[in-house]
Amino acid sequence: MSALSPRLAAIVEALPLRQGIRVLEIGGAPGAAAKAVAERIGDGHILVIDRSATGVAQIRRNAAADIESGRLSTRQVAAEEFELLPSEAPFDLAFAVRVGALDGRHPEAGAIAKRRIAAALTPNGRLFIDGGNPLREIEL
């Protein structure tokens, strides 16, 4: 997979990433941003969810080394249906780029998705989406 586009690079750079955190990326196919995040969080973890089976397959193909290392995992699920697995720790940070449920294109799905994401975050967890300069934080 090629290097990040300037837009995605700016988004990843703007995220408040630190070593060891747990990150949730919503709608992350084909996996370019997730790979860049995985490089920056050391022994942390990024879970990438995508509603598309094709998208999840792309992520698994493009990020195979990160998946093998345990730093990255994927799940096929829509944001509005996402919930933590029983043994899964909450996430410190969530982000989404061009996800209609979160950028205002699908407000009803967005209301549900925001509740689901909030439930999967730590008490101080934060959600960022594209559309700012380059990001904007969504209040949960």
Q: What is the CATH number of the domain that holds 42?
A: 3.40.50.150
118 has pLDDT over 80: yes
Give a yes or no: residue 49 inside a domain: yes
When divided into structural domains, the chain yields a total of 1
* 122's tokens: 């730590």
Give a yes or no: residue 1 inside a domain: no
Give a yes or no: residue 14 inside a domain: yes
* DSSP string for residues in 34-65: HHHHHHHSTT-EEEEEES-HHHHHHHHHHTHH
Give a yes or no: residue 86 inside a domain: yes
The strand order across the sheet containing 72-76 reads 72-76, 45-50, 22-26, 91-96, 121-130, 135-138
- What pLDDT is attached to residue 2? 52
Q: Which domain holds residue 87?
A: 6-138
Q: How confident is the model at residue 132 (pLDDT cuts 50, 70, 90)?
A: confident
Give a yes or no: residue 119 inside a domain: yes
Q: Residues for the chain: how many in total? A: 140
- What pLDDT is attached to residue 14? 97
